Amino acid sequence: MPTVAKPKLTFADYKPEGRNWITLATGEYYPDILKDACTLYEPVLVLFGQLLRASESSTRLFLLISEQSNGFTRIQLARVFRKYVSPETPVEMLKQKSKAQKICDEFGQGFRPIQEVQAAFSTRPIPDEALCAVLWEYKDRGKKGYDLTERLFAQVRQALPDLPMHGPERAGKDILLGKIFKNYPKPDRPVDFTIRDPATDEVLAVGLARYDSDRGGAQEDDRTGGYRDCASEILAYARKHHLRTKVVFINDGPGLLLGSMWNDYASLEHTGKGRVLVATLRMVPERLTKTWLLS
């Protein structure tokens, strides 16, 4: 494979002034959010109470929730159900309408008895400010990541207007590598964006973008370990097929300053031998260059 034109600075070189290279997303203040939270979730709690009174068992309650046609309402009801009835049931499972009976079969024995749920629910006011505040925390989950990718697309298009960038700019389906690479070993491998050479349509880079508000411990290891596996897989395919394809990880947020995260990303970039680039949004203009992508 041809020699890669490495950026002048590595991700590790930015660490001494790392706080100056991250982007801080704005947040919301407590208790300021309570008024809007109660307005949004009071109808959910009222409906939950109606379904609760109509259910002879906690299993029946969950099945009634799963029958709700409005997706937003159903998911919020499932979250309330988890808090009151089954905290051990994974949230993602509760969201899957088609698996309602399976969830009842596998987790139903651990559901809190309906009489206890009714008694507990009756002790709380409507709207329940505490529960509304908890549900509000879910509302913008993922928004910071969407904001990051939107700003990334804008930056890259401004800096590299002649190199097309593709992918969901906010919410949307990930790009599956099996759709862009022939006989890719893991066709369902998702990435957030690609950058192509318009002259040949060759994929110059595939990338992932994440915002880390707060990470550490096992989460930290999972993220960087997953990235390492992803990079190794893509670069092995590129070498085998004599492609210039590189891997770009755009990560931002205060989580980068916690634990060993910055060092782990620096190590990931180093092991890529010039074909892996890790950057925050503020680093993109000087690190994600046309020279590097085309080399």
Give mean pLDDT in consecutive 10-residue pieces for the chain, a chain of 295 residues: 76 95 82 94 97 96 92 92 90 76 87 97 97 88 78 92 91 90 95 95 95 62 83 96 96 88 94 95 94 95
Cβ neighbors of 189 (< 8 A, separation 6 or more) are: 176, 177, 178, 230, 233, 234
The domain that holds 153 is classified in CATH as 3.40.1350
Cβ neighbors of 199 (< 8 A, separation 6 or more) are: none
Last residue of a domain, one of 77, 111, 139: 139
Same domain as 38, residue 19: no
Whole-angstrom distance, CA of residue 163 vs CA of residue 193: 12
What pLDDT score was predicted for residue 4?
Answer: 79
Same domain as 147, residue 93: no
Whole-angstrom distance, CA of residue 290 vs CA of residue 295: 8
What pLDDT score was predicted for residue 147?
Answer: 84
Same domain as 280, residue 153: yes
Prediction pTM value: 0.74
What pLDDT score was predicted for residue 103?
Answer: 86
Same domain as 150, residue 69: no
What pLDDT score was predicted for residue 218?
Answer: 46
Q: What angle do CA 289, 293, 295 make, to 5 degrees?
A: 115
Which amino acid does the sequence have at 33? I
Same domain as 221, residue 93: no
What pLDDT score was predicted for residue 170?
Answer: 76
Same domain as 161, residue 257: yes
What is the residue-wise DSSP string for 156-212?
HHHH-TTS-EES-SSSSPPEEHHHHSTT-SSTT-EESEEEE-TTT--EEEEEEEEE-
Same domain as 253, residue 149: yes
Q: Answer whether 240's CB lies under 8 Å from 181's CB.
A: no
In a domain, 134, yes or no: yes
Radius of gyration, CA atoms only, the chain: 23
Question: 61 is in which domain, residue-wise?
Answer: 34-139
In a domain, 3, yes or no: no
Same domain as 158, residue 264: yes
What pLDDT score was predicted for residue 281?
Answer: 93
In a domain, 207, yes or no: yes
Number of domains in the chain: 2
Cβ neighbors of 188 (< 8 A, separation 6 or more) are: 176, 178
In a domain, 4, yes or no: no
CA distances from 288 to 50, 246, 249 (A): 55, 11, 11
Same domain as 235, residue 155: yes
Same domain as 115, residue 202: no
Last residue of a domain, one of 106, 139, 172: 139
Same domain as 88, residue 39: yes
Strand order in the sheet with 203-211: 165-166, 193-196, 203-211, 246-252, 276-279
Same domain as 19, residue 160: yes
What pLDDT score was predicted for residue 49?
Answer: 97
Last residue of a domain, one of 139, 166, 196: 139
Whole-angstrom distance, CA of residue 269 vs CA of residue 231: 9
User: Backbone phi, then psi, for 117, in 5-degree steps?
Assistant: -65, -45
Query: What distance, in Å, lies between the first and last C-alpha atoms of the chain?
Result: 10
In a domain, 170, yes or no: yes
In a domain, 235, yes or no: yes
Q: Answer whether 157's CB lies under 8 Å from 167's CB.
A: no
